[in-house]
Amino acid sequence: MSGTMFELLMVLLKRPGELLSQQELMRHVWPGRTIDSSNVRSQVAVLRRTLGCSKRGEQYIATSSGRGYRFAAPVQFGTTEATASAERSPEAPPGTNQLRLAAPWCATAVIGRDAEIAEVVERIGEHRQVTIVGQAGGGKTAVALAAASAAHRFDAAHWFAPDEDCPATRFEEALVTAIDPNLCAANAREALVALAGERALLLVIDGADRHLDAAAAFAEWLLTALPRCALLMTSCEAMGGAFEDVLRLPPLALPNEAGGDDAVLGSPAVALLRARLGRIPCEATPPELADLAHRTGGNPLAIELVAAEARTIGVGALLDILDDALLLSLQRRSGPLRQRSLGVLMEAAFAGLEQAERQLLARLSTLPDTFALEPAAEAALCSPRAVATQFRLLVGRSLVEICPADNGMRYRLPAPVRAYAARWVARPAATEPPLAVPTLRSAPKALRSTRRHGAPVAQPL
C-alpha cells in the first residue's frame, strides 16, 4: 500500500461512518497541493481493491454520489481481546482493561530505542507528567507511541497532535474533539472529567511546543483535577511545570569504526539505516554505512531521508553528492507535513529565534563536532559569559546539545541545526554585529523563554 493510499485510509478510519467530502480528503491527504477530483476517485477505487471490496461482497467504503465517501464497516481502535491477553503484562490481573491507543498506526518498529522506551514507561509510572524533549526529527513521536502502548497500568490512552494553525484558546477544545468527536467540546474540562470517570487514562500530546503555554496550563489543571490520569508529551522544549519529569532523547548512537565491521553494523544509527535501505542495487560496505550515518548525526528523520535517496541512486553515489543543502532538501511524501523535511523543521525552529541567536548558531557551525565554551566564544567574537547566556536558551530549545566529557563540559550542534545554520556563514561579515550580553530590555523575554510556571527549563551553565 502506497503512502498516499495509507494516508487516505487513515483519514477515513479516524472518522468511521462520517461522510467526508472530496475537498476534505484533498486537504488532509494532499495538503497544500492542487489535486483533480478524478485523482481522489482513482485512489479510492484502488483502495477498495486493496481491501478486497466487491460489488457482492464486503463493502468497506461507501460512496454518496456528488457528496463524498465514508468508511462503512465497524472500526475498533486498539488490540483484539486475544492480542491483549497475549500482550498483558505479568502484573496486570485477569480482566484488566488493556491499553487502547487512539493514535496513528506505526508501520515500522522503533529501532535503537529500547532503553529509552523502557525508561519512559518506568517514569510515567512514577511521575504523572513526562515530557520527551529532543531535537527536531529525533524520533520523539515514535518513542512516545511505543511507550504508551507498553504502559499497561493505564485503562486507556489517547493521542493528540495540535495543529500549528489551531488558536491557543482552542487547544483544549481541539484535544477533546480529537479524543472523541461526540464529546461536548464547548466545556472541554468537564468533558474530560466525565470521560475519565474512575479510569486511569494516559493522554499523549505530540508536539506540545507548538502551543507551549496552553499545554503547560492544561497539564497543571489535569494533574490536579484528575488524580488517576497522566500526561506524556513530546516537545523540543520542556513545559517547566512543577510536576514535570523531563527525559532528553539523544540522537541514535553513531558507529565507532575503530571497533571493526561488527561494531559498525551493530550501532543503532547503522541498524536503522540498514532497515530503511532494505535491498538496494549496490550493496553498501560497512565503512560506507558508517560514513552515511555520521553525516546524519544520528538524527532518525535524517537517516530515513538519506536511506530513501540511497535506495534510488546507491549509497556510494549519495556519499559523493550529499552536502548540507541536499540533506535539508530531502523530503518524503507521507507523514505529517511538518515532519516530511528537515528543511521545513529547521525553518520553523529558526523563525522563533532572535537575529543574535541565529548568528551565534551560524558561527558555531564552523567549529568541530563537539566544542568547549572558550572556542565557541572565540568563534562568536564575544565573551564566554555572553555565549553561556545564549546557550541557556538554545539548549532549552534542543538547538544545542550538552556533551559531558572527562575534560569538562562540551557542546554540539545537532546535524540538521548545523546544516541549516551554515547558511548564515556565507553572509557578509558587515551584516553580523558582535553578540552582546542581553540587556534589561531583552531580559524579561529571555526569562519567559526559560521559565514556565516558576520552574526553570535549563539550569544555569
Q: What is the pLDDT of residues 388-420, one digit of tens each?
A: 999 989 999 999 999 877 777 899 999 999 999
Residue 264: CB partners within 8 Å, gap ≥ 6?
Answer: 255, 256, 257, 270, 286, 287, 289, 290
Are 374 and 398 found together in one domain?
yes
For residues 103 and 228, state if they share a domain.
yes
Inform me whether the pLDDT recorded for 240 exceeds 70.
yes
Whether residue 447 sits in one domain with residue 389: yes
Judgement on whether residues 158 and 39 belong to the same structural domain of the protein = no
pTM: predicted TM-score of the whole model, two decimal places: 0.70
How many angstroms separate the CA atoms of 347 and 345, rounded? 6
Q: How confident is the model at residue 234 (pLDDT cuts 50, 70, 90)?
A: very high
Q: In angstroms, rounded to a whole number, what is the distance separating the alpha carbons of residues 110 and 434?
A: 43
Considering the domain boundaries, does residue 86 fall inside one?
no
On whether both 9 and 62 belong to a single domain, the answer is: yes
Are 306 and 430 in a shared domain?
no
CATH number of the CATH domain containing 239: 3.40.50.300
Report how many domains make up the chain. Answer: 4
Residue among 81, 51, 59, 61 nearest 15 (CA): 61
CA–CA distances in Å: residue 173 to residues 121, 183, 208, 214, 220: 28, 10, 15, 11, 16
Same domain assignment for residues 122 and 208: yes
Beta bridge partners of 129: 231, 244
CA distances from 126 to 92, 132, 151, 370 (A): 17, 15, 12, 34
Q: Could you report the per-residue pLDDT of 321-351, keeping only the tens digit for each? A: 999 999 999 988 776 667 788 998 998 889 8
Looking at residue 331, what DSSP letter applies? B
Instruction: Specify if 347 maps to a domain.
Output: no
CATH number, domain of 396, equals 1.10.10.10
Mean pLDDT of the chain: 79
Contacts of 187 (CB under 8 A, 6+ apart): none
Q: Is 335 inside a domain boundary? A: no
Backbone angles phi, psi at 298, to 5 degrees: 80, 10
Strand ranges across the sheet with 401-405: 370-371, 408-412, 401-405
The C-alpha atoms of residue 255 and residue 263 are separated, in whole angstroms, by 7
**Percent of the chain, pLDDT > 70?**
80
Does 241 lie in the same domain as 150? yes
Q: Is 116 helix (H, G, I), strand (E, B) or coil?
A: helix
pLDDT digits (tens, 9 = 90+) for 271-294: 999 988 876 545 788 999 999 999
Query: Is the domain of 367 the same as that of 440?
Result: yes
Domain with 289, as residue range(s), is 257-322
In a domain, 332, yes or no: no
